[in-house]
Homo-oligomer: A and B are copies of this chain.
């Protein structure tokens, strides 16, 4: 659970970061900017801020904002309703982001799992993305990612998003935010 006040502060911070890199949002998009704390209430370490531009039955596009060293926790997008799981292309726009995937563990990785959650991180093949670089994650493939010291802005192009179907390695995680008013 996350408080309304924390959500509003994170929305404003993410909107400032987007503004800084000249990505323009409508007033409504700023109000609707999604703050995902994944139910862990440690947003600075584990979390993600999102602007969903379009999520139709055919395709999806979002802007992802990561605060400095913020981590989107390990998960995969399984097949849904007989179709393939979500495939997504991450394109780094600003800052830097380290993406972790199955495969040979990278020696001396740049990122590390948030303290206290190490058990729930199991893939350690690192792909570094600098501005202008991109990587496509196949369906149903475990992945997690972490921003560098300045944070990161990443465009995501994908097949349709069905967040409620995502499978997280950490059983404590709730993908759909639970916001308390206090």
Residues of A within 8 A of B (CB): 21-26, 29, 53-54, 56, 58-61, 84, 87, 89, 91, 93-94, 131-134, 136, 155, 157-159
Among B26, B56, B133, contact of A26 (Cβ-Cβ < 8 Å): B133
Q: Which of B22, B61, B155 contacts A89 (CB 8 A)?
A: B61
Tell me whether B24 and A89 are in contact (CB under 8 A).
Answer: no
Contact (Cβ within 8 A) B60 A132: no
Q: Could you tell me if B56 and A59 are in contact, using CB atoms closer than 8 angstroms?
A: no
Contact, CB under 8 Å: B21 / A56: no
A93 contacts across to B, CB distance below 8 A: 23-24
User: In the assembled complex, how far is the CB of residue A62 from the closest CB belonging to chain B, in whole angstroms?
Assistant: 10
* A134 in contact with B24 (CB, 8 Å): no
Q: Give the complex CA separation of A25 and B21 in angstroms.
A: 15
A89 cross-chain contacts in B, Cβ below 8 A:
53-54, 56, 59, 61
Taking A53-B89, A61-B155 as given, write out 20 further A-B residue pairs in contact, using a Cβ cutoff of 8 Å, ordered by the A residue number.
A21-B22, A23-B93, A26-B132, A53-B134, A53-B157, A54-B136, A56-B87, A56-B89, A56-B136, A58-B59, A59-B59, A59-B60, A59-B89, A59-B157, A59-B158, A59-B159, A60-B157, A61-B61, A61-B157, A157-B157
